[in-house]
Structure formats: C-alpha cells, structure tokens
C-alpha cells in the first residue's frame, strides 16, 4: 500500500516533469506579403511569438494573428526585433542598449494593446533573429531587453537560449525566464546552434525533428553534429515558423511528444 502510494507519487512527479511548451514565430507577414503557414502551425503549437512591426508584421497582421492564436487556444507573446524590415531583423545592428530598451518596449506595448483588444493577455517575450543571437552573448543588450520586458509587464516570461546572457539578465531583472531548445536546428558540441551557412544547420525532416524534440524533453539531451551529446534543460521547444514545412514539423513534434505521454501545453 505504502509502496503503491510511493509509486503513484513517483509516477505523478514524473508526469509533472514530462510536460513542455511548443513555440513558433508567427505573424511574420507584412502588408500584402505572406510569410509562414500560421494557420497550420497554430494547430500544433502552444505558444506563439508574434512579430511587432519593426522587422516583420504590421498592425493589421498583428491583430489577425492574435485573433487566430486566441481562437486556436495558443498563448501569445511578443517577438520584438531590430528595426530592419528589408533584412527581416536578421542582420546585426550596432544599436545602443538604450535604443534596444526603447524599441523593445515600443514593440511589446504595441502588441499588448492589440492583444488586449482581442481579449488576450501576453504570456511571454522572445527576441527575434539577430536581437536574439546578440542578446544571448551581449550582457548590456540582454539587460536592456530584460528591463524593457519588466517595465512593460513584470509577469511576462522571457524566453531565450539556456545559459545565455539574456536569461541571466531576465533573472536579475526579476523575471521568470524560460529556456528553449530547437527541434529543427542542429547543435554544436558546445551547445550552440550550427550556423545557418552549413547545409545541415536546419533539420527539415519532420520525424527527425520530432525524435530530437522527444529526446530533449525526456533525456534533456541533443546529439550534436559531431556525434557528441549535449545537455539541454528547457521548458519550451521552438519550431521556426519560416523553416520550409514548418507546420508539418510542428505537427510531427507534437504528435510524437503526445504519443510518448508528454503533456504539451503553454507555459502559463
């Protein structure tokens, strides 16, 4: 009896541990330009990071995206980026920390108001593209982002790479931070993502991405490009919205996780 209770507790504890959020970037269309397969992605993910108009997205796209996410029961977050529309926020820009603070706050606020008008409260913030990459290693930029998130709503979760300056800055700013791994990106043995210039940087095969996701959740590990094993301890798994076949990858990841008994649900 005692052992059964123990077993139950253990099982429950295990069950509690085996849950994960599945996030993707959405709302990256602009004006007449269509980007990403949001409708299908939203059927599989649990958290959506919405572009805020400076690197992608526009006010009308933002509203439509929030509405769709809410309709699909997907949590919504802000996905602020560099003010570089033609470069899609992927080019490093020597912005000052103060400028970063200001334009991140601006983007979060714009989405907050649009979300509010759709009856949605933002769950998280995740920087986009070069801003994500730079703030992972640049302390001053990381702090600027963390302060902007805290200033807009200190209950917002801050998503970033595990062990990054961004998450350290988020914690220092009193935010709840959330580490993420990528189901559709290859890793190096030091835990960094394989640079996109390498052919195998992106995992395009849905079943491979799904297998990687499951291993990340269950074993907290990924196999790096060189065959070594890297520890990853994360609460959310990202599928890039702009990877070709993103919706199919997200669907495969979700199915694989749920088939394995993992609870896939939003962060909050």
Q: Name the site residues for its own copies (rule: CB under 8 A).
A: 30-35, 53, 58-60, 62-63, 83-88, 91-95, 98-99, 102-103, 105-114, 116-117, 130, 148, 151-152, 242
Rounded to 10°, the helix 165-172/139-152 angle is 40
CB of 81 to its own copies, least distance (A): 12
CB of 57 to its own copies, least distance (A): 10
CB of 196 to its own copies, least distance (A): 13
Q: Which is nearer to its own copies, 84 or 184 (CB)?
A: 84
Q: What are the structure tokens assigned to 35, written together?
A: 């980007």
- First CA to last CA across the chain, in angstroms? 35
Beta strand 221-223 with 229-231: parallel, antiparallel or unpaired? antiparallel
Distance (Å, whole) CA 268 – CA 252: 23
CB of 100 to its own copies, least distance (A): 10
Q: Which is nearer to its own copies, 89 or 236 (CB)?
A: 89
CB of 75 to its own copies, least distance (A): 18
Q: Which is nearer to its own copies, 102 or 205 (CB)?
A: 102
Q: Which is nearer to its own copies, 103 or 182 (CB)?
A: 103
Give the DSSP letter string of 23-41. EEEE---BTTB--S-HHHH
Residue listed under structure tokens 């790096």: 224
Residues in CB range of 126: below 8 A, 6 or more apart: 23, 49, 77, 78, 79, 132, 158, 159, 160, 180
Q: Which is nearer to its own copies, 31 or 227 (CB)?
A: 31
Residues in CB range of 214: below 8 A, 6 or more apart: 256, 257, 260, 262
């Amino acid at each position: 009896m005692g052992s059964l209770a123990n077993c139950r507790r253990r099982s429950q504890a295990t069950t509690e541990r085996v849950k994960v959020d599945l996030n993707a970037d959405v709302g990256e269309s602009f004006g007449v330009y269509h980007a990403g397969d949001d409708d299908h992605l939203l059927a599989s993910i649990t958290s959506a990071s919405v572009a805020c108009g400076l690197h992608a997205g526009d006010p009308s796209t933002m509203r439509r995206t929030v509405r769709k996410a809410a309709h699909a029961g997907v949590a919504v977050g802000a996905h602020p980026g560099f003010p570089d529309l033609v470069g899609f926020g992927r080019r490093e820009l020597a912005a000052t920390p103060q400028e970063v603070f200001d334009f991140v706050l601006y983007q979060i606020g714009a989405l907050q108001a649009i979300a509010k008008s759709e009856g949605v409260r933002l769950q998280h913030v995740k920087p986009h593209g070069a801003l994500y990459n730079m703030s992972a290693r640049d302390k001053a930029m990381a702090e600027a982002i963390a302060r902007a998130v805290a200033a807009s709503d200190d209950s917002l979760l801050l998503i970033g790479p595990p062990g990054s300056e961004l998450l350290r800055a988020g914690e220092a700013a009193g935010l709840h931070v959330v580490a993420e791994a990528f189901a559709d990106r290859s890793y190096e043995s030091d835990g960094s993502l394989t640079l996109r210039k390498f052919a195998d940087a992106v995992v395009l095969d849905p079943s491979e991405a799904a297998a990687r996701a499951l291993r990340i959740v269950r074993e907290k590990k990924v196999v790096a490009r060189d065959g070594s094993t890297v520890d990853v301890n994360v609460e959310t798994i990202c599928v890039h919205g702009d990877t070709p076949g993103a919706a199919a990858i997200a669907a495969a990841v979700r199915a694989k996780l749920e088939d394995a008994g993992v609870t896939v649900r939003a962060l909050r």
